[in-house]
A = this chain, B = another copy of it.
């Protein structure tokens, strides 16, 4: 069955519930679980045996494996459909290693957030921590931003600086950054789902 125009019909419900999307071990998911934010509707992963899905099940949350194929449009649809089916009005990316297509941004306008281990716009893309070390910066950090159609580019919601120490390698610096992530992300998600974030041009205003 094919419905013409279906791909443009994905619309998130008006809801303060949210889906968490994660591919990896799910430490940011765990921080959101531990913060007991009301409205965590479902955890979605593209990796069937990810730590994220395990953590979700352990927390008694719906955990959905959505396999990723070659068709990004279809992948995006599937993820959005699962999120919407669980009543999510927002998508929280927590180490989700897939790129969502434009349909997701249309379906969840200013309702998709991502966390990135650098002070954007510095060091977008993969291996941000290694990039920062290679560049020799003395300060790096973490950014939470709205997702737009460019990678690691949307309006910045919150940032925290993290010092780079002389003896740092990727692991030690990433661990220091993660500590800030786990404190920051629950605050931002709570602000998002309670409607406290407004985007005005490129600036995000907290109310």
Contacts of A138 in B (CB 8 A): 156-159
Q: What's the interface size class on A, roughly?
A: 20 to 34
CA distance A121 to B206 in the complex (A): 27
Q: Take A119-B122, A205-B166 as given contacts and tell me if A156 and B141 are in contact as well, using a CB distance cutoff of 8 Å.
A: no
Contacts of A166 in B (CB 8 A): 205-206
Contacts of A66 in B (CB 8 A): none
Whether the pair A139, B159 counts as a contact (CB closer than 8 A) is yes
Q: How many copies does the complex hold?
A: 2
CA distance A136 to B205 in the complex (A): 10
- Cβ proximity bits A150-176 to B, threshold 8 Å, 1 near / 0 not: 000001111111000010000000000
Minimum distance in angstroms from A28 CB to a CB of chain B:
18
CA distance A15 to B196 in the complex (A): 57
Contacts of A204 in B (CB 8 A): 136
Nearest residue, chain B, Cβ from A145: B136
CA distance A144 to B120 in the complex (A): 19
Nearest residue, chain B, Cβ from A206: B166
Minimum distance in angstroms from A92 CB to a CB of chain B:
18
Minimum distance in angstroms from A205 CB to a CB of chain B:
6
Chain A residues packing against B (C-beta within 8 Å): 119-122, 134-139, 141, 155-161, 166, 201-206
- The 5 A-B pairs of least Cβ separation, nearest first, read A161-B161, A136-B202, A138-B159, A136-B203, A139-B159
A-B contact pairs, 29 of them (CB 8 A): A119-B137, A119-B139, A120-B137, A121-B122, A121-B135, A121-B137, A122-B122, A134-B202, A135-B156, A135-B202, A136-B155, A136-B156, A136-B201, A136-B202, A136-B203, A136-B204, A137-B159, A138-B156, A138-B157, A138-B158, A138-B159, A139-B141, A139-B159, A139-B160, A139-B161, A141-B161, A161-B161, A166-B205, A166-B206
